[in-house]
Structure 1
Amino acid sequence: MALHMIKLCVGCDTVEELLAWGHGDAGVGKPWILRTRQTPKRAVEMVDGGSVFRVFKGVILCRQPILHIETVGEGVHARCELSLDPQVVRVAPTPRRAFQGWRYLEPKDAPADLSMEAFGDVPTDLARQLREAGVW
């Protein structure tokens, strides 16, 4: 069973801002590189179908499938690079408290993917309010 990672999205307030930033940094269609200090001890489980779920202002809004995890550098300069699929998948807005760094996210706790055909282009604020009200 795949294991996921959850990480705060710092510097972007919306999924649209993340998309604009990511496409400008990596280029359209190329894998995104996410750098972290610590390499996950359970990296093998994460590469086998896992995703990075992103938290924007206290709400999980999207995920990106993990393609590859690699440790680069040595000693105190070692860092982890996660190659992410450029495809950003929106998920059901789910509240999440702030935390530092990243955390594992078990599949049973992961928000469900949103069907864009079913809901169209719902504004993020409205989606969050509907989720909090239990309507969505």
Structure 2
Amino acid sequence: MTEKKIKNIFVNGAISSAFIADSIAKHSSKKEIGGHSIFLGQVRADEIEGRLVSAIDYTAYEDVALEQMHKIRAEIFEKYPLTCMHIYQSLGTIKAGEICLFVFTSSSHRKPAMHACEEVVERLKAELPIWGKEIFENGTHQWKENK
């Protein structure tokens, strides 16, 4: 038995709406799918202590994050009857309003796709060494707390 290749979830820059649409369109030929669940994480223009967030600069300990995501992915596939799962996390500076996380799960029925998608997002946020530095309009910055 061969070991499954670890998939790279990281993309440089924001995740475009064209990329998301193309990912969805590619699944129309998979007739066994009855439900998809999609989570899109978007950078918010939060106001913190009178300063407005203009972007977030994402960094990661990539090797460790990919290894951990590989384990999470295997556990999710064991737990839910999924047809497929796609995860994309931005690295670099992502402006407010842009998409920084795209999680897409598919299954024969809606509930496994929905539950799996939510669990993937929660575990990714809690378990992966990915950090965001909030960049404010005035040029200052601070590390973002993962919520």
The TM-score with structure 2 as length reference comes to: 0.28
Higher helix proportion (structure 1 or 2): 2
- Of structures 1 and 2, the larger Rg is shown by 2
The TM-score with structure 1 as length reference comes to: 0.29
